[in-house]
Homo-oligomer: A and B are copies of this chain.
């Protein structure tokens, strides 16, 4: 799809430590999906679900695991460990990031005491408030709002309409997609006789190096302590991170996951889409939560965890769902049956 500088297949093999099979003299100009790739394009096979497409690919070269190499009708680059990872590294060669002009767009509004590195790029309509600091190589898309006392470290990139409300600190190379809001008030309310009293949210947000934050995701600032993402945490779109949450390094959350206040999630966890994690609990390192599961208690052992009921045709589901409301009664009836049967058997002996 992209057409740019070419790389010889043999050059790619050497550069990325891959074993080449077939004619390695071809030149690669871009990447394309397995089923549609043509001469001059590199593709990959990682998910076995798509293995049948290998036979018909017209790609210039395909990155794959050793077990699929013999089946490839075109030159191959064999990735010993993970073809998807090898593909990710190679594909970066063909990505054309928009060139950002250093400087502050004339329509941006910058407070007198904000500090902006000369090499930073501040897009149209950005608003930089008192005491904000923006480091070298940072790129802000249009209409970003960087609130009081926020700091953004080197090489971070924010898409359009990203808001850092106040006391938000971003590490290096952080990538934030459009519409994300970091540092809004945590949801702290206390009940009085006549209604709700707002609990002041006096903490901040700290985002580690190399984190990625998806479009329209929200990360609230802490009530007293900071809300923290350690380094290399990856958040997809529309994720909600409540106040005082702490997420360990290299943990990834997929779209629409939500984490309630003061929860602590460990390192190297995978939280699938639409999953929920209740407040004030702990999830240890190396835990996977499957989609739309709800974590209602702390998890102290690494592993895969799930909740929910399986999808089925609606009429069958209705019949079964009605019974869920009688599960306890069913269990008691089974126990009663066992006792009666035991008594009956004894009688007969």
State the A residues within 8 Å of B (CB): 1-2, 31-33, 36, 47, 49, 82, 84-85, 87-89, 91-92, 94-95, 98, 105, 107, 109, 123-125, 127, 129, 141-143, 145, 147-148, 159-161, 163, 165-166, 175, 177-179, 181, 184-185, 187-192, 195-200, 202-203, 210, 212, 214-216, 218, 220, 224-225, 231-232, 234, 236-238, 240, 242, 249-250, 252, 254-256, 258, 260, 273-274, 276, 278, 280, 288-297, 303-328, 330-331, 333-334, 337-338, 340-341, 344-345, 347-348
Find A310's partner among B1, B310, B325 (CB 8 Å cutoff). B325
What are 28 contact pairs spanning A and B, CB under 8 A?
A1-B203, A82-B190, A85-B192, A91-B202, A142-B143, A145-B178, A147-B160, A165-B178, A177-B181, A177-B184, A179-B181, A181-B216, A187-B236, A196-B210, A216-B218, A237-B240, A255-B260, A276-B291, A292-B294, A303-B313, A305-B312, A308-B309, A309-B321, A319-B328, A322-B328, A334-B334, A334-B337, A347-B348
In the complex formed, the residue of B with least CB distance to A47 is: B280
Q: Which of A210, A231, A290 has the most CB of B within 10 A?
A: A290
Q: Which residues of the other chain, B, contact A255 by a CB distance below 8 angstroms?
A: 187, 218, 240, 242, 258, 260
Asked whether, in the complex, the Cβ of B294 is within 8 Å of the Cβ of A308, the reply is yes
- Known contacts A85-B192, A187-B255, A191-B82; decide if A334 and B330 are in contact (CB<8 Å): yes
The closest CB in chain B to the CB of A253 belongs to: B187
State the copy count for this chain: 3
Contacting residues, chain B, for A311 (C-beta < 8 A): 289, 293-297, 305-307
Query: Among A305, A309, A311, which residue has the most Cβ atoms of chain B within 10 A?
Result: A311
B313 touches A224 (CB 8 A): no
Q: How far is the CA of A181 from the CA of B33 in the complex (A)?
A: 25
Please report the C-alpha to C-alpha distance between residue A274 and residue B242 in the assembled complex, in whole angstroms.
13
Task: Identify 20 new A-B residue pairs, CB closer than 8 A, beyond the known A91-B200, A163-B178.
Answer: A31-B224, A91-B199, A94-B200, A175-B198, A181-B215, A187-B236, A187-B255, A215-B218, A216-B238, A220-B237, A273-B278, A294-B311, A304-B315, A305-B311, A306-B317, A308-B321, A310-B321, A334-B337, A344-B348, A347-B348
The complex places the Cα of A191 from the Cα of B46 at a distance, in Å, of 13
Given A148-B98, A258-B256, A199-B276 contact (CB < 8 Å) = no
Q: Are A179 and B216 in contact (CB under 8 A)?
A: yes
CB of A127 within 8 A of CB of B124, answer: yes
Complex: A318 Cα to B231 Cα, angstroms: 33
Q: Is the CB of B330 within 8 A of A330?
A: yes
Pick from B142, B192, B225: contact of A109, CB under 8 Å? B142
